[in-house]
Chain A
Amino acid sequence: MRRRLGVWVAIPVLFVMLAFIFVLATSEDSGSRSVSSPLLGRQAPPIVGETIAGEAYDLAASSGGFVIVNFFATWCTPCVAEHPELVNFEQRHRSAGDASVISVVYDASTASVRQFFSDNGGEWPVVEDPDGRIALDYGVAGVPESYLIGPDGVVVTKLIGGVTSSGLDQVLAEAQEAYR
């Protein structure tokens, strides 16, 4: 048995290495994993603060219907890219009356945000979050992230990355279906 020690050591080592290689080969790319939120199905954390227009805002006191809460920053390229889509979505659904949009500022200065909205349009409450409390409560890891909140204040969906107007329509339609 001692003579064949080499083989007896080599075989288990080989087995472990092959298993290891198998694990590496079947691992998903870390960047493409979607983040599920522990908030789904729970009451939305409060959003209370001041908008860039200087008015007070409270999510709980909003007028019902679905709300898209969009975390964004002016220096974030996908946020800038998705902005026209949000404008389009908000305008259509404001007239239909079933969904509204609010933005929460993530790590950008108020002046630059004001300038941005004045240049690019968008007339909805833009809430400041100077300490990052709101972002922390929602578990925002990066921007852009958007949350769909139902009329009962429950978080329905979390979207990561830039959104499109039609994509939002679809997500909204599914939620409306579920609430019927």
Chain B
Amino acid sequence: MSGLSRARWPWLLLVALLVGGLVVAAVGDSGPQSSAERARGLAEGIKCPTCQGQSIADSNATAARSIRTEIARRIEAGQTDDEIRDYVVGRYPDSLLTPPKTGVAGLVWFLPVALFVGALGGLVAVFRSWRTPPDHEVSAADRDLVEEARRATRP
């Protein structure tokens, strides 16, 4: 392979710009969160007790709003995210929208990844089996057949 041929440098430039941009995007996002972001993050993970299937971040029901107010109050008071979650779950059991990563519930995280990896592995195996040409031993009878055909078609 030749080195930096003329065809390649635009691509290298693209890659450099891309990596640079993504690094800035990632780093710029990773500082400590503001209270509003923390509140929203917590709220998005808690189920609204009155409405079915919505998080308290999205619901305007009274129960949801009062929990949101309470979360804001506790963030001001300096509680950690885990403490706040424990309080809410202590009042409303099974209101966390994100299943834990351990135990039976952890299956919901693990199964899709496992199956995806399995499918990829299966595909790799299938491709490999396609690539190896089938082993055929050319038998003497086959050679004779071909010889005969060649003789027959010789002008």
Contact = CB atoms under 8 A, between A and B. Distances in A.
Interface residues of A, number: 16
A115 to B, nearest CB: 20
Given A141-B50, A142-B49, A132 B91 contact: no
Contact of B91 (A30, A131, A137): A137
Interface stretch (B26-34, B62-70, B76-84, B134-142): B62-70
A140 interface: yes
B109 interface: no
Nearest to B50: A142
Label chain B's interface by main secondary structure: helix
Chain A interface, >50% SS class = loop
Contacts of A142: 49-50, 63
A108 to B, nearest CB: 10
Interface residues of B, number: 14
A136 interface: yes
B110 interface: no
Nearest to A142: B50
Given A38-B93, A136-B70, A139-B91, 8 more contacts: A30-B52, A132-B62, A132-B63, A132-B69, A135-B62, A135-B63, A136-B91, A142-B63
13 contacts: A36-B93, A38-B91, A131-B66, A131-B69, A132-B69, A133-B70, A135-B63, A136-B70, A136-B91, A139-B49, A140-B63, A141-B92, A142-B50
